[in-house]
Amino acid sequence: MKKITAMVLAVMLIFSLATCASGEEPQKQSSAAEPSVSYSYNEYPLERNGIDLHLDRMSVTGSNPDRNILLIHGVTYSSHEFDIDYEDYSLVRFLAREGYAVWRLDIAGFGQSEEVEDGFLPDSDYAAEDIHAAVEKICEISGQDKIDLLGWSWGTVTAGRFVSNHPGHINRLSFLRPS
Protein backbone atom coordinates (compact mmCIF):
# COMPACT_ATOMS: atom_id res chain seq x y z
CA MET A 1 0.00 0.00 0.00
CA LYS A 2 2.86 2.38 0.74
CA LYS A 3 4.14 1.88 -2.81
CA ILE A 4 0.81 2.86 -4.35
CA THR A 5 0.36 5.82 -1.97
CA ALA A 6 3.84 7.05 -2.89
CA MET A 7 3.02 6.59 -6.58
CA VAL A 8 -0.19 8.61 -6.30
CA LEU A 9 1.56 11.39 -4.40
CA ALA A 10 4.41 11.50 -6.92
CA VAL A 11 2.03 11.73 -9.87
CA MET A 12 -0.01 14.44 -8.13
CA LEU A 13 3.20 16.42 -7.61
CA ILE A 14 4.34 15.92 -11.23
CA PHE A 15 1.05 17.09 -12.70
CA SER A 16 0.73 19.97 -10.22
CA LEU A 17 4.19 21.21 -11.20
CA ALA A 18 3.46 20.71 -14.89
CA THR A 19 0.20 22.64 -14.58
CA CYS A 20 1.90 25.52 -12.75
CA ALA A 21 4.73 25.58 -15.29
CA SER A 22 2.31 25.68 -18.19
CA GLY A 23 0.38 28.63 -16.74
CA GLU A 24 -2.89 26.71 -16.71
CA GLU A 25 -5.27 27.25 -13.85
CA PRO A 26 -5.27 24.20 -11.56
CA GLN A 27 -8.61 22.43 -11.58
CA LYS A 28 -10.66 22.14 -8.41
CA GLN A 29 -9.51 19.17 -6.38
CA SER A 30 -12.24 16.98 -4.99
CA SER A 31 -12.16 14.49 -2.20
CA ALA A 32 -10.96 11.05 -3.31
CA ALA A 33 -13.80 9.42 -1.41
CA GLU A 34 -16.41 11.69 -3.00
CA PRO A 35 -19.48 9.43 -3.30
CA SER A 36 -21.28 11.56 -5.90
CA VAL A 37 -18.62 10.97 -8.57
CA SER A 38 -19.35 8.20 -11.04
CA TYR A 39 -17.10 7.02 -13.82
CA SER A 40 -17.58 5.92 -17.40
CA TYR A 41 -15.54 2.91 -18.43
CA ASN A 42 -15.05 1.74 -22.01
CA GLU A 43 -12.85 -0.86 -23.67
CA TYR A 44 -11.51 -0.35 -27.18
CA PRO A 45 -10.50 -3.17 -29.50
CA LEU A 46 -6.84 -2.99 -30.48
CA GLU A 47 -4.79 -5.58 -32.34
CA ARG A 48 -1.11 -5.56 -33.25
CA ASN A 49 0.80 -8.38 -34.96
CA GLY A 50 -2.20 -10.69 -34.57
CA ILE A 51 -2.33 -10.19 -30.78
CA ASP A 52 -5.34 -8.60 -29.09
CA LEU A 53 -4.28 -5.83 -26.73
CA HIS A 54 -6.37 -4.51 -23.86
CA LEU A 55 -7.00 -0.75 -24.07
CA ASP A 56 -9.52 0.96 -21.82
CA ARG A 57 -10.61 4.47 -20.91
CA MET A 58 -12.11 5.95 -17.78
CA SER A 59 -13.47 9.44 -17.23
CA VAL A 60 -15.98 11.13 -14.99
CA THR A 61 -19.50 10.30 -16.22
CA GLY A 62 -20.99 13.15 -18.22
CA SER A 63 -17.67 14.89 -18.75
CA ASN A 64 -16.02 15.55 -22.08
CA PRO A 65 -12.32 15.66 -21.19
CA ASP A 66 -10.05 17.58 -23.52
CA ARG A 67 -6.93 16.03 -21.97
CA ASN A 68 -5.91 12.41 -22.51
CA ILE A 69 -3.29 10.46 -20.61
CA LEU A 70 -2.07 6.92 -21.27
CA LEU A 71 -0.71 4.95 -18.31
CA ILE A 72 1.94 2.31 -19.02
CA HIS A 73 2.54 -0.46 -16.46
CA GLY A 74 5.74 -2.17 -15.37
CA VAL A 75 6.96 -5.70 -16.02
CA THR A 76 5.63 -7.41 -12.88
CA TYR A 77 2.02 -6.24 -13.09
CA SER A 78 -0.64 -4.92 -15.46
CA SER A 79 -2.58 -1.72 -15.91
CA HIS A 80 -4.98 -2.92 -13.20
CA GLU A 81 -2.56 -1.54 -10.60
CA PHE A 82 -3.42 2.02 -11.63
CA ASP A 83 -7.04 1.60 -10.47
CA ILE A 84 -7.04 0.10 -7.00
CA ASP A 85 -10.61 0.85 -5.94
CA TYR A 86 -9.83 1.26 -2.26
CA GLU A 87 -10.06 4.55 -0.37
CA ASP A 88 -7.96 7.05 -2.34
CA TYR A 89 -5.46 4.68 -3.96
CA SER A 90 -6.74 4.90 -7.52
CA LEU A 91 -4.52 6.98 -9.77
CA VAL A 92 -7.02 6.50 -12.61
CA ARG A 93 -9.91 7.97 -10.62
CA PHE A 94 -7.78 10.82 -9.31
CA LEU A 95 -6.72 11.84 -12.82
CA ALA A 96 -10.30 11.45 -14.12
CA ARG A 97 -11.54 13.81 -11.40
CA GLU A 98 -8.82 16.24 -12.49
CA GLY A 99 -10.34 16.38 -15.97
CA TYR A 100 -8.46 13.66 -17.84
CA ALA A 101 -9.68 10.85 -20.03
CA VAL A 102 -7.47 8.15 -18.52
CA TRP A 103 -6.35 5.37 -20.83
CA ARG A 104 -4.66 2.13 -19.79
CA LEU A 105 -2.88 -0.35 -22.01
CA ASP A 106 -1.85 -3.89 -21.16
CA ILE A 107 1.27 -4.74 -23.17
CA ALA A 108 1.07 -8.05 -25.12
CA GLY A 109 1.25 -10.97 -22.71
CA PHE A 110 0.24 -8.90 -19.66
CA GLY A 111 -3.05 -8.38 -17.84
CA GLN A 112 -6.07 -8.63 -20.10
CA SER A 113 -4.09 -8.57 -23.34
CA GLU A 114 -3.75 -11.83 -25.24
CA GLU A 115 -1.07 -14.23 -24.08
CA VAL A 116 2.01 -14.64 -26.25
CA GLU A 117 3.61 -17.97 -27.07
CA ASP A 118 7.12 -16.68 -26.51
CA GLY A 119 7.31 -15.03 -23.08
CA PHE A 120 10.38 -13.10 -24.20
CA LEU A 121 8.49 -11.55 -27.13
CA PRO A 122 7.26 -8.45 -25.35
CA ASP A 123 10.69 -6.91 -24.76
CA SER A 124 11.07 -3.14 -24.40
CA ASP A 125 11.24 -2.46 -28.13
CA TYR A 126 8.19 -4.63 -28.83
CA ALA A 127 6.26 -2.98 -25.98
CA ALA A 128 7.14 0.46 -27.37
CA GLU A 129 5.35 -0.47 -30.59
CA ASP A 130 2.32 -1.67 -28.58
CA ILE A 131 2.29 1.81 -27.03
CA HIS A 132 2.53 3.33 -30.51
CA ALA A 133 -0.55 1.37 -31.62
CA ALA A 134 -2.45 2.52 -28.53
CA VAL A 135 -1.46 6.17 -28.95
CA GLU A 136 -2.52 6.12 -32.61
CA LYS A 137 -5.89 4.65 -31.56
CA ILE A 138 -6.36 7.22 -28.77
CA CYS A 139 -5.58 10.10 -31.12
CA GLU A 140 -8.02 8.68 -33.67
CA ILE A 141 -10.82 8.29 -31.10
CA SER A 142 -10.24 11.59 -29.29
CA GLY A 143 -9.57 13.68 -32.39
CA GLN A 144 -6.49 15.12 -30.71
CA ASP A 145 -2.97 15.09 -32.09
CA LYS A 146 -1.13 14.87 -28.76
CA ILE A 147 -1.66 13.13 -25.44
CA ASP A 148 0.18 12.84 -22.12
CA LEU A 149 2.02 9.63 -21.28
CA LEU A 150 3.02 8.23 -17.90
CA GLY A 151 5.29 5.21 -17.50
CA TRP A 152 5.76 3.36 -14.22
CA SER A 153 8.84 1.20 -13.54
CA TRP A 154 9.55 -0.81 -16.74
CA GLY A 155 6.87 1.37 -18.30
CA THR A 156 9.37 4.25 -18.14
CA VAL A 157 11.72 2.28 -20.39
CA THR A 158 9.03 1.32 -22.89
CA ALA A 159 7.47 4.80 -22.88
CA GLY A 160 10.90 6.37 -23.37
CA ARG A 161 11.64 4.12 -26.31
CA PHE A 162 8.25 4.88 -27.82
CA VAL A 163 8.76 8.65 -27.51
CA SER A 164 12.28 8.47 -28.96
CA ASN A 165 10.86 6.69 -32.04
CA HIS A 166 7.51 8.51 -32.32
CA PRO A 167 7.66 11.93 -30.60
CA GLY A 168 4.90 13.52 -32.65
CA HIS A 169 1.88 12.52 -30.56
CA ILE A 170 3.20 13.27 -27.09
CA ASN A 171 2.42 16.46 -25.21
CA ARG A 172 3.92 15.54 -21.84
CA LEU A 173 5.95 12.52 -20.71
CA SER A 174 6.25 11.55 -17.03
CA PHE A 175 8.37 8.82 -15.48
CA LEU A 176 7.31 7.30 -12.18
CA ARG A 177 9.82 5.13 -10.32
CA PRO A 178 12.08 4.41 -13.29
CA SER A 179 13.56 0.92 -13.34
CA distance 58 to 129: 23
Q: Residues 121-171: pLDDT tens digits?
A: 899 999 999 999 999 999 999 999 999 999 999 999 999 999 999 999 999
DSSP 119: T
- Give residue 33's pLDDT: 52
pTM: 0.80
DSSP H helical segments within 37-153, as ranges? 91-97, 124-142
- Give residue 28's pLDDT: 37
DSSP, collapsed to helix, strand or coil, labels residue 70 as strand
Q: Residues 55-97: pLDDT tens digits?
A: 999 999 999 999 999 999 999 889 999 999 788 889 999 999 9
Confidence of residue 34 (pLDDT cuts 50, 70, 90): low
Higher pLDDT, 30 or 168: 168
**To 5 degrees, how large is the angle CA 166–CA 91–CA 40?**
90
- Give residue 18's pLDDT: 47
Domains of the chain and any CATH numbers: 2-23+39-176 (3.40.50.1820)
- Give residue 35's pLDDT: 58
CA distance 77 to 45: 21
Higher pLDDT, 5 or 135: 135
